[in-house]
Copies of this chain bind each other. A is one copy, B any other.
Amino acid sequence: MSKVFVIAQGGGPTAVINQTVAGAAIAARQRHPGAKVLGARHGVRGIRDGNFIDLSDLSERDLRRIGDTPNAALGSTRDKPDEKYCARILEQLRTASADAFIYIGGNDTAGTLQILSAGGDGKMAFIHAPKTIDNDLVENDHTPGFISAALFIANAFLSMDLDFRALPGIYVGIVMGRHAGFLTASAAAWQRDASDGPHLVYVPERPFSIDRLLDDVRDVRQKYGRCVVAMSEGVTTADGRPLVESLIGGGLERDAHGNVQLSTGDLGLAVQASLSKTFPGVRARVDTFGYLPRAFAGTISDVDRREAFEVGAFAVAASENGSCSVAVQNEHGNTTLKLVPLEAVAGKTRLMPPDFLDPTENRISEVGMAYLSRLLPPPPDIFSPFV
């Protein structure tokens, strides 16, 4: 009997998550002629509801076109299935005679697969294919989707630094990232020396103080006549509370899990108010980037595209040996794909290593810069010698 693969996408879309679908579908058909490849609409929700798309007869060309399209072409979901939901998923996967379920997502996705694997009969393989712009999966050097999002951020801060050379002032760009600062750090990827922005980088991994920010901004302005700041939406004060909560207090929107909604603009307005009060008459601007970076069609990295595709193909090969998580690792500067147990990744958050930050200043260290320049393409040729 021919093999049956089920593929689904979970969590926030990325610029290259469809490459992983394409890579898996193409590899499944190549390795297992006659294989049936089912896409689940809107992640596990589609499996629960028996809402499948048959990808088996799509041409390779169409699969590659889907791969080149940003965002989740099968649809995604924020559902975090409990035991009962998982039991229903298992039932539907059995009804579909699935040999393997490849679920593309972050650490929550790996967690769902861990529950499914524990509840299964051992015959079906549950494979986690990594994806997240937050770059916060343990066991991974970097994750598909991160490089493209980082490329948006690098372009944004390059441009904003040039903007604030032309019309001096203070600029703060607020970047997605509740716990991990990798994406915010990528603001520095194309910095040539200390005079280039972002002059200051604040990430969730280091306790944040608004007074320290204001002091830092004052120092940078004295040196360079302007100040460009990259700040994670998730920066937290020393008491462990999100900055936005410390600045505004109650009345903030919370999501279904009780988390304060970040990147809505509240934090931006609060920071703007602090800057205007401390630096009256100085041009000060805070932009909250929001969703723009995560799957922007104009800044998709070729490396990211290729790696995301390979992760999909590798997931199919991996499924022949039981459940696991695909990990994107680095060996001597080369990206290699490995298999790790689901429990090694599930529910865990990888933070930015402490040595990515300068020990005393709020800047990216040489170690952090080397990491970014290994992943991102080189900067465009910028020549602006006068201001």
Binds B, one of A90-98, A205-213, A376-384: A376-384
Residue of B nearest to A285 (CB): B291
Binds B, one of A265-273, A317-325, A335-343, A356-364: A265-273
Residues of B within 8 A of A296 (CB): 155-156, 159, 298
Given A298-B299, A380-B297, CB of A163 within 8 Å of CB of B291: yes
Residues of B within 8 A of A381 (CB): 65, 68-69
Apart from A264-B269, A264-B286, A287-B290, 16 more pairs, CB < 8 Å: A18-B384, A41-B387, A62-B383, A66-B383, A66-B385, A68-B383, A71-B162, A71-B163, A72-B387, A73-B387, A75-B386, A78-B167, A152-B298, A155-B297, A159-B292, A298-B299
Q: A151 within 8 Å of B by Cβ?
A: yes
Q: Tell me which of B53, B75, B272, B383 contacts A69 (CB under 8 A).
A: B383
- Interface flags for A293-328 (1: CB within 8 Å of B; 0: not) read 011111100000000000000000000000000000
Q: A145 within 8 Å of B by Cβ?
A: no
- Assess the B386–A162 pair: CB atoms within 8 A: no
Q: A184 within 8 Å of B by Cβ?
A: no
Residues of B within 8 A of A35 (CB): none
**Which positions 67-109 of chain A face chain B at CB distance < 8 Å?**
68-78
**Which positions 145-177 of chain A face chain B at CB distance < 8 Å?**
151-152, 155-156, 158-160, 162-163, 165-167, 171
Residues of B within 8 A of A160 (CB): 291-292
Residues of B within 8 A of A198 (CB): none
* Closest beta carbon of chain B to A84's beta carbon, Å: 22
CA A249 to CA B167, docked complex, whole Å: 30
- Assess the B266–A269 pair: CB atoms within 8 A: yes
**Which positions 120-160 of chain A face chain B at CB distance < 8 Å?**
151-152, 155-156, 158-160
- Assess the A42–B387 pair: CB atoms within 8 A: yes
* Closest beta carbon of chain B to A106's beta carbon, Å: 14
Residues of B within 8 A of A77 (CB): 167
**Which positions 20-62 of chain A face chain B at CB distance < 8 Å?**
39, 41-42, 53, 62
Q: A276 within 8 Å of B by Cβ?
A: yes
**Which positions 164-217 of chain A face chain B at CB distance < 8 Å?**
165-167, 171
Q: A112 within 8 Å of B by Cβ?
A: no
Given A65-B381, A66-B383, A71-B163, CB of A292 within 8 Å of CB of B291: no
Given A253-B276, A265-B265, A288-B287, CB of A386 within 8 Å of CB of B74: yes
- Assess the A269–B265 pair: CB atoms within 8 A: yes
- Assess the A287–B298 pair: CB atoms within 8 A: no
- Assess the B163–A75 pair: CB atoms within 8 A: no
Q: A13 within 8 Å of B by Cβ?
A: yes
Q: A289 within 8 Å of B by Cβ?
A: yes
CA A367 to CA B136, docked complex, whole Å: 46
Residue of B nearest to A256 (CB): B281
* Closest beta carbon of chain B to A309's beta carbon, Å: 15
Q: A9 within 8 Å of B by Cβ?
A: yes
Residue of B nearest to A18 (CB): B384
Q: Tell me which of B12, B39, B287 contacts A386 (CB under 8 A).
A: B39
Given A152-B298, A292-B287, CB of A166 within 8 Å of CB of B387: no
CA A214 to CA B151, docked complex, whole Å: 35
- Assess the A166–B386 pair: CB atoms within 8 A: no
* Closest beta carbon of chain B to A150's beta carbon, Å: 12
Given A62-B383, A290-B285, A387-B41, CB of A163 within 8 Å of CB of B295: yes
Q: Tell me which of B265, B299, B387 contacts A286 (CB under 8 A).
A: B265
- Assess the B155–A298 pair: CB atoms within 8 A: yes
